[in-house]
Amino acid sequence: MAQQQLNLPKGLIGIVAIVIAGLILVSKSAITVDSGQAGVLYKTFGGGVVTGEPAMGEGFHLVLPWNRVFIYEVRQQELFEKMKVLSSNGLDIILETTTWFMPRPSDLGKLHQEKGENYLDRIIKPALRSAARSVVGRYTPEQLYSSKRDVIQKEIYDETKKILDDQYIIVNDVLVRDVTLPATIKDAIERKLKQEQESLEYEFRLVTASKEAEKVRIEARGKADANKILSASLNDQILRDKGIEATLKLAESPNTKVVVVGGKDGLPLILGNN
């Protein structure tokens, strides 16, 4: 009986030890992948990084305690970059961009194996800077400042995407947020643009004035033609008939009148007492 009482605590100690070891094992084996993430499995005794299988998706996973899981964010991410580039005539331009990108989930194992977790600094930033320098170097500061902004943005996106397509990265878009020119160049461009605007405005006023003058000439020509037609149609006989009609209407008036016979054109002249 005494011997059993001495052995009982030793048994409990063994059970506790086993439970603790089990808890440690489970804690080392349990992996939780959060939303917007994926895991790359590394098998210590099984060939290293697993590249031939899909990445571990969201949720709870159990892995062998001697293996490791590397967690990557697979949602769209933003890269804000401010860089100094040269225009076609060698002037320094400060370019600010935003790049939307994400790792390709199906190639996450290869990305981890070949580029590593620091793939942003290793491949994305160099690719973006190279594309920006290549594109901006084709244009003058004036084109960068005004008319070619959208074209430049698309070209930078196309070149960045081309570089990163075989690097297991998806580039969704590249936005040019700001272009900063040297102050003297910026002032000169703004003055030129203002002069061009004033010139266009002056040309518009000239065109408007020319159209208004043409309108006045057409109206005057129409009035002149109408007067010619009217003058040609008014002969002596018509004027005499009109005079007779007017005399008859005046004669029918109840007012007192003085009639003078032998007026101009043979028509009687009728005068009122006023």
Write out pLDDT tens, residues 171-186: 999 999 988 887 666 5
Q: What is the pTM of this model?
A: 0.60
pLDDT tens digits, 257-268: 555 545 555 555
Domain chopping of the chain, boundaries: 2-73, 77-181, 236-272
Q: Which of 153-162, 201-210, 227-236 is the least confident region? A: 227-236
Tell me which of 132 and 211 has the higher pLDDT: 132
Residue 119's pLDDT is 95
Q: What is the DSSP string of the chain?
A: -HHHHHHHHHHHHHHHHHHHHHHHHHHHHEEEEPTTEEEEEEETTTTEE--SSPPB-SEEEE--TTSEEEEEE-S-EEEEEEEEEE-TTS-EEEEEEEEEEEE-GGGHHHHHHHT-TTHIIIIIHHHHHHHHHHHHTTS-HHHHHTTTHHHHHHHHHHHHHHHHGGGTEEEEEEEEEEEE--HHHHHHHHHHHHHHHHHHHHHHHHHHHHHHHHHHHHHHHHHHHHHHHHHHH--HHHHHHHHHHHHHHHHTSSS-EEEESS-GGGPPEEEE--
Is the pLDDT reported for residue 6 higher than 50?
Answer: no
What fold is seen in the domain 77-181? Answer: Tetrahydropterin Synthase; Chain A (3.30.479)
